[in-house]
Each structure stands twice: as structure tokens, then as C-alpha cells.
Amino acid sequence: MLAVKVPKKEAEMARRRLLELGILAKGYSIKREGDFVLFPVTGPVNGFELVEAEFERTERRPHSYREVVEVPAELRQLLPSSFDIIGDIAIIELPEELMPHGRAIGGAILKVHRHIKAVFAKGGKVEGEYRVRELIHLAGENRTETVHRENGIRLKLDVARVYYTPRLATERMRVFEKTQPGEIVFDMFAGVGPYSILLARKADLVFAVDLNPWAVKYLEENIRLNKATNIVPVLSDVREVAGKIKADRVIMNLPKFADRFLKEAMLSVKPGGIIHYYGFSPEEDLFSEHEAKIKATARELGFRVEFLDRRKVRPYAPRQFNIAIDFRVE
Ligand SMILES: C[S@@+](CC[C@H](N)C(=O)[O-])C[C@H]1O[C@@H](n2cnc3c(N)ncnc32)[C@H](O)[C@@H]1O
């Protein structure tokens, strides 16, 4: 290809000039020949000695699996631009048309993201009381246990046996920032402990309840892993425990069914205590239905509620949002 040849001592000046002119060919390495340096160029340029030369291509590491994956051209546009990473496991949501190419997609993810050791596809919706979903192994190790880091804590978990999403990390940090030293916290649907372990760094005591035995097994391991000494893990249906605990702050992270547990939450909070309620809502009505249920339950129990904050936490499905409502109970 066409090249500009300059004496070594003028090489830096020449490189800048060629860059300015936008004529330096990208993707090739510059070549040294004795006391001269050769730059690959895309066309003739005045004021330089031009020669023909061969150049080696420079390797640019691909940034996305989409750059290296081999799928039929007509399916390329369906390739998801993102996927979840939990520890060293990737979980991707593939449209049906791409499922037959799952191995190639998984392989491409492993190739581009060297820290990922296993790739799974979502095999369905998050379902049941335990809020877990089926996973389909695509590539790498057929292993579902990993250790994930979030907000400075370590969480060991099995992605096939417990609920966990890294997409709530910011929300959990927001609740941590509101938590005050000395508080008693009641994490009603604790899972493997991402709220409990974080909030235990500020609160006096955290009650962490879950009815999934796998979640509580990992919660207990995570309490040890993070050297927390002020968390009480409880394997139980929260209905058995609620009312026996009086907390300053209650976390209701079960968006699909939280409205069914409002009574339990309100009976577990001290006067003036705060409840962090989560729900799913359509875009056109994010809060009013949930707030109506909160008010109705408070009325039934003879409590008064003061709404403190309401926000979209994250998109959940097309035109559906995971929302949060913080309220005080008097
Ligand atoms: C959406 S997950 C949230 C887990 C955790 N808070 C997190 O952020 O990863 C809800 C959790 O509630 C638990 N759960 C569902 N119904 C329950 C109940 N009646 N009593 C106690 N735990 C329950 C499930 O097992 C699941 O681990």
C-alpha cells in the first residue's frame, strides 16, 4: 500500500501532520526501516516521499460480542446490545429466532469478555414464590454459582436457585444513604442479602427474612463472607414473622406481590418508621394505584401515612416500570 517515508528524527512531526490531514491509514502498524519510518497512508500527499510498502494489521480488541459472533445476516439486528453479568456469569435474553444460535452467541461473549466463564440464556419469566427463572446453558462452564460484587459487598449466590438482579444496585445504595445509624431494619424479602448486608453497615440490627431455603443458605454465607455481626437471617414466610418485629425501616422488595403484604409491613414498623415499597406499573399510571392500596391498608389499621418519595427504579418490560414509593407510617 501507499506509504510516506521519513527520517526517524522527523517521524513524530510527520505523524502529527498526517493525522491533521486525516490521511494516516487506520488499522496498520507503523514500520521501521533502518533510519527511516514508514507510515501507511490512504492517498498521495504533498511534501513527503511516497513509496509502496506492506504493513501488518494491528489487532483491535472487539468491544462487543456482536462484532465477532457469526449469525445469519438477517438475524443480526436481533442481537441484544446488553446482557446481565453476575459475578463471572453472563445471562442474556435472546429472542426465539436467535435461540438456535445460542452456542455461537455464548462463545462470542466468552471470547470478548475474558472474565466471563459461563453464559446462560433466560429460559422464561421470573416465576413462583421464590422469584426464579429457568436458565439455558449456552457456553463455557455449566455452573450457576458465583460471587458477585456490588456496592462494596460480596454476594455468593446460585443464579438458578435464587432471585438476584444487578440492576438494583443503585436503588439499594439510595436506600443505604437514607438509613440512619442506630436503626432497626426489617428486610421482608431478603433473598441472598444485597439490601441486608449493605444496610447492616449503618443500621444497628437487620432482620432478613426469606422463604426460599437456598436464598437463606446463601444469605448466611454472605453474612460470614462480609463479616456482618448484626444480621438475623430467618427462613420463614414473612407472614409468620411480621408484627413480632418493630423496625425503623422496612424493605418490601417483592414488586410483583408487595401490595399483598402491606398489612404485615405496617404492623412491623415503629410509629414514624419508614417503608420502602416496590411495585410494577404501566407507564401511564405509575403510582396512583399503589398509593391507593397503601392508603386503604393504613386506614384499615388506623394508621396515617405520609408519602416521602416516589420514583421509577428501572424499566421492567415494554412500557412497564419497577417503581418505588417511600412512606412514613404514624
Ligand atoms: C424479588 S426477590 C428480592 C430479593 C432481594 N431483596 C434482592 O434484592 O435481591 C423476592 C424474594 O422474596 C422471597 N419471598 C417471596 N414470598 C415470600 C414470603 N411470603 N415470605 C418471605 N419471603 C418471600 C423470594 O424467595 C425472593 O427471594
Q: Whose CA is nearest to atom 16 of ligand 1?
A: 129
92 lines ligand 1 (CB under 6 A): no
Residue 288 CB coordination number (10 Å) = 9
Q: Classify domain 65-143 by CATH number.
A: 3.30.300.110
The arithmetic mean of pLDDT across residues 23-49, rounded, is: 92
Testing ligand 1's pocket by substitution, the residue of 86, 211, 260, 277 carrying the most ligand atoms inside 8 A of its CB is 211
322 lines ligand 1 (CB under 6 A): no
d(CA 245, CA 275): 14
For 63-96, the pLDDT digits (tens) are 899 999 999 999 999 999 999 999 999 999 999 9
**What percentage of the chain reaches a pLDDT higher than 90?**
93
Q: Classify domain 163-329 by CATH number.
A: 3.40.50.150
Residue 265 has pLDDT above 90, yes or no: yes
Q: What is the pLDDT of residue 288?
A: 97
Q: Please count the CA atoms within 13 angstroms of the CA of 110 that sit on its side-chain side.
A: 15
C-alpha cell at 307: 408519602
Provide CB contacts within 8 A for 72, sequence distance 6+. 101
Residue 212 has pLDDT above 80, yes or no: yes
Residue 59 has pLDDT above 80, yes or no: no
Any idea where the domains of the chain sit in the sequence?
A: 2-52, 65-143, 163-329
Testing ligand 1's pocket by substitution, the residue of 86, 125, 131, 222 carrying the most ligand atoms inside 8 A of its CB is 131
> Residue 174, class by beta-carbon neighbours within 10 Å (0-12 exposed, 13-18 middle, 19+ buried)?
middle
CB-CB contact of 274 with 252 (8 Å): no
Centre of ligand 1 to C-alpha 157, Å, is: 14
The arithmetic mean of pLDDT across residues 51-55, rounded, is: 94
One-letter amino acid of 262: L
For 285-302, the pLDDT digits (tens) are 999 999 999 999 999 999
Q: What is the pLDDT of residue 121?
A: 98
C-alpha cell at 84: 446481565
Instruction: Give 2-52's CATH code, choosing from 3.30.70.2580, 3.40.50.280, 3.20.20.70, 3.90.79.10.
Output: 3.30.70.2580
193 lines ligand 1 (CB under 6 A): no
Q: What is the pLDDT of residue 58?
A: 85
Residue 221 has pLDDT above 90, yes or no: yes
d(CA 264, CA 266): 6
Coil vs helix vs strand at 85? strand
d(CA 330, CA 326): 14
Q: Whose CA is nearest to atom 25 of ligand 1?
A: 130
